[in-house]
């Protein structure tokens, strides 16, 4: 029977998991059906776990409690992209479960911890899709629990979790219609198996063998995608309702509160500890939510807001306490702005529009939760608007908002033009909620086009794409590809422009030349003769051109 797992062994397991994902991140990244160079699933999971490994590497022979504290805090601060955020949620539940384990734990406690990790992730992602890392982690945790009923050996328990996850992985293709269309397995789920493999390798003392342990999926040579994007933006109910309830009646199950809230709303987040219950729900009847909360104890920090197309991830008190004390700039004004973008030209544009602090990031370089939180802390304002400007950064922004002591509003901007459009809609005389509504509505007033290149051979929507092809994208979707730059440029201009087009901005970036940029300007000018057109040197990586049309 394997030894009990103490703080030092757990430290080794997390570090081995980090090394395993780092070693095989390109395999995970290859599961991207969309060939645009991106901050891929494997990269984000490696960076997220790498932050925990780096912090754990600073201590030797930590107690189990200390190892849990460091891991939880580092994963929270280092989470990058949606895949990194979900990974951090899974391990946040694991560390929370094991905090009460004493100095060491066995396979039974490990199975319970894996289960709590799954529950934590599912609770945070209120519209979880099947055929994802969530599905595979749930199946593996269920197998671990069954094995723990027969043996308390942590090696056997973890091995059973891995075996179940391997069996569940091919099923993701059938459960998720987008994966089925692309004939691939889920990238995040594959990465999760590699994490578990790394942990087992450390537990068995065979850390160096993890690269050979996991069989590659048969379809790994094909294209694939990060499908950990969940539909969290569709708002059905009118009021964002938040409150804290004291746990005066500790015998009353919190699951009853969750079940009740599910009957009156959506976007539900219920976080609990021994003393408090924190609730966030979107509902048409906030009075009913408050009434149910009163059954548990006295209510405080009640906030009811009318909201538009945004799911706010709220504070988790235990997570915030695990963070090191932060220094926040004293407010010097009511409103401030943080924006994410890469390129000196783009940073200059955002600065001219009033952005206080820029976070360098975007495609291929998703910033962490802590990167965004540090920028919020540096912004000397009472209310800080965060513009992620990339769909894979929104969740990290929401986590930063939940950890900040300031009022932080994360706008779901998925492109640089959307971020700029939101800033132009801001009015310093309006209340925060009104500004949020107007700025969010402004996101839909602009079209975003991009010209980039194919980072790998791929097949997408029936089209064969070769590495090095020029690709035109419209609103994040592939419009066309060609070996000739002129072909994609002309088709993108025709698709974006019309007689009603009024303003066009072209940001030139990596791979562009002054002569080519002028050629792009001329093509768009021809397609929208009445539009006001500006050509700006953005300096952004990955995209030779980002085009905004209003």
Summarised one tens digit per residue, pLDDT across range 17-54 is 998 898 888 888 877 554 444 447 888 899 889 989 98
CA distance 527 to 46: 44
Cβ neighbours, 10 Å, residue 334: 11
79 or 351, greater pLDDT: 351
- Supply the pLDDT for residue 204: 83
More reliable by pLDDT, 165 or 330: 165
Amino acid 326: pLDDT = 57
For the chain, where do the domains classified as CATH 3.30.1180 start and end? 447-549
Query: Domain 447-549 falls in which CATH fold?
Result: Hypothetical Protein Tm841; Chain: A;domain 3 (3.30.1180)
Q: Please, where in the chain does CATH 3.30.70.980 lie?
A: 236-306
Q: Is residue 148 scored above 90 in pLDDT?
A: yes
The CATH class given to the 326-445 domain equals alpha beta
Over residues 177-183, the mean pLDDT reads 68
From 26, 50, 40, select the one nearest 81 (Cα to Cα): 40
Task: Please report the pLDDT score of residue 229 as a whole number.
Answer: 34
Number of Cβ within 10 Å of residue 406's Cβ equals 17
The secondary structure element, H or E, covering residue 240 is strand 239-246
Taking only the tens place, the pLDDT of each residue in 189-207 is 999 999 999 999 888 876 4
Which tens digit of pLDDT belongs to each residue from 453-501? 887 777 766 667 888 888 899 998 888 889 999 999 999 999 999 888 9
State how far the Cα of 28 lies from the Cα of 90, in Å rounded to an integer: 18
Is the pLDDT score of 432 beyond 90? Answer: yes
Question: In terms of pLDDT, which residue wins out, 183 or 14?
Answer: 14
Q: Please give the share of the chain, as a percent, with pLDDT higher than 90.
A: 41
pLDDT at 57: 86
Residues of the chain within CATH 1.25.40.340 domain(s) are 5-213
Query: How many Cβ atoms sit within 10 Å of the Cβ of residue 484?
Result: 10
pLDDT of amino acid 286: 87
Three-state DSSP class for residue 288: helix
With a cut of 70, say whether residue 502 has pLDDT above it: yes
Q: What is the CATH number of domain 5-213?
A: 1.25.40.340
Per-residue confidence band for 109, with pLDDT thresholds at 50, 70 and 90: very high
- At residue 284, the 3 state secondary structure works out as coil
Any bridge partners for residue 269, and if so which? 280
Greater confidence (272 vs 486) lies with 486
Pairwise pLDDT comparison (361 vs 508), residue with the higher score: 508
Give the pairing type, strands 276-283 and 463-465: unpaired
Q: Structure pTM?
A: 0.60
**What is the C-alpha end-to-end distance of the chain, expressed in Å?**
66
| Predicted pLDDT at 239 | 75
β-pair type (477-482, 470-474)? antiparallel
Please give the mean pLDDT across all residues of the chain. 82
What is the pLDDT confidence band of residue 170, given thresholds at 50, 70 and 90?
Answer: confident
List Cα–Cα distances, 323 to 51, 58, 246, 397, in angstroms: 14, 16, 23, 16
Helix (H, G, I), strand (E, B) or coil at 128: coil
The more confident residue out of 463 and 159 is 159
State the pairing for strand pair 357-360/333-341: parallel
Sign of the CA dihedral with 278 first, then 432, 445, and 449 last: negative
Task: Enumerate the β-bridge partners of residue 482.
Answer: 470
Q: Taking a C-beta distance cutoff of 8 angstroms, is the pair 63, 103 a contact? A: yes
**Average of pLDDT values for 274-296?**
83
Q: What is the pLDDT of residues 217-268, one digit of tens each?
A: 444 433 333 333 323 344 466 677 878 788 887 888 888 888 888 888 876 6
The pLDDT confidence band at residue 181, using thresholds 50, 70 and 90, is low
Query: Is the confidence at residue 308, as pLDDT, over 70?
Result: no
* Class in CATH terms, 236-306: alpha beta
Strands of the sheet containing 357-360, edge to edge, are 357-360, 333-341, 381-387, 407-410
The predicted pLDDT at position 267 comes to 62
What is the location of CATH 3.40.50.510 in the chain? 326-445
């Amino acid at each position: 029977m394997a030894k009990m797992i103490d703080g030092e062994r757990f430290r080794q397991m997390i570090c081995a998991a980090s090394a395993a994902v780092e070693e095989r991140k390109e395999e995970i990244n290859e599961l991207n059906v969309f060939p645009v160079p991106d901050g891929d699933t494997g990269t984000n999971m490696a960076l997220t776990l790498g932050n925990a490994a780096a912090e754990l590497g600073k201590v030797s022979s930590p107690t189990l409690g200390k190892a849990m504290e460091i891991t939880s805090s580092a994963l929270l601060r280092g989470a990058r992209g949606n895949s990194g955020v979900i990974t951090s949620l899974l391990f946040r539940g694991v560390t929370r479960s094991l905090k009460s384990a004493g100095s060491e734990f066995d396979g039974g406690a490990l199975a319970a911890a894996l289960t709590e990790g799954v529950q934590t992730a599912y609770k945070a992602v209120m519209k979880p899709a099947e055929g994802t890392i969530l599905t595979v982690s749930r199946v593996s945790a269920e197998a671990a629990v069954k094995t723990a009923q027969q043996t308390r050996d942590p090696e056997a328990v973890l091995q059973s979790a891995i075996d179940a996850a391997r069996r569940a992985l091919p099923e993701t293709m059938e459960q998720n219609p987008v994966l089925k269309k692309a004939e691939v397995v889920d990238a995040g789920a594959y990465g999760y198996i590699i994490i578990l493999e790394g942990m087992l390798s450390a537990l068995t003392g065979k850390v160096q063998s993890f690269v050979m342990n996991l069989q590659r999926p048969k379809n790994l040579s094909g294209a694939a995608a990060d499908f950990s994007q969940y539909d969290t933006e569709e708002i059905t109910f009118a009021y964002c309702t938040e409150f804290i309830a004291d746990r005066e009646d500790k015998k009353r199950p919190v699951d009853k509160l969750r079940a009740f809230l599910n009957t009156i709303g959506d976007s539900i987040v219920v976080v609990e500890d021994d003393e408090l219950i924190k609730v966030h729900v979107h509902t048409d009847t906030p009075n009913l939510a408050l009434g149910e909360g009163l059954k548990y104890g006295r209510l405080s920090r009640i906030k009811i807001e009318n909201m538009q197309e945004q799911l706010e991830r709220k504070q988790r008190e235990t997570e915030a306490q695990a963070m090191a004390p932060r220094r926040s700039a004293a407010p010097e004004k009511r409103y401030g702005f943080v924006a994410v973008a890469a390129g000196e030209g783009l940073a200059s544009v955002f600065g001219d529009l009033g952005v206080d602090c820029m976070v360098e990031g975007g495609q291929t370089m998703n910033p962490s939760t802590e990167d965004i939180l540090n920028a919020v802390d540096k912004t000397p304002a009472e209310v800080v608007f965060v513009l992620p400007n990339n769909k894979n950064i929104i969740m990290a922004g929401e986590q930063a908002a939940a950890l900040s002591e300031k009022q932080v509003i994360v706008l779901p901007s998925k492109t640089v033009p959307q971020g700029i459009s939101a800033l132009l809609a801001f009015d310093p005389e309006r209340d925060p909620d009104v500004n949020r509504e107007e700025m969010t509505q402004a996101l839909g007033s602009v079209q975003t086009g991009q010209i980039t290149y194919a980072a790998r051979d791929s097949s997408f929507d029936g089209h064969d794409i070769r590495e090095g092809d020029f690709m035109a994208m419209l609103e994040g979707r592939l419009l066309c590809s060609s070996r000739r730059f002129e072909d994609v440029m002309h088709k993108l201009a025709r698709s974006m422009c019309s007689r009603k087009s009024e303003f066009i901005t072209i940001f030139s970036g990596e791979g562009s030349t002054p002569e080519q940029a002028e050629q792009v300007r001329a093509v768009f000018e021809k397609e929208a003769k009445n539009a006001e057109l500006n050509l700006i040197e953005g300096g952004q990586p990955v995209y030779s051109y980002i085009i905004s049309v209003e």
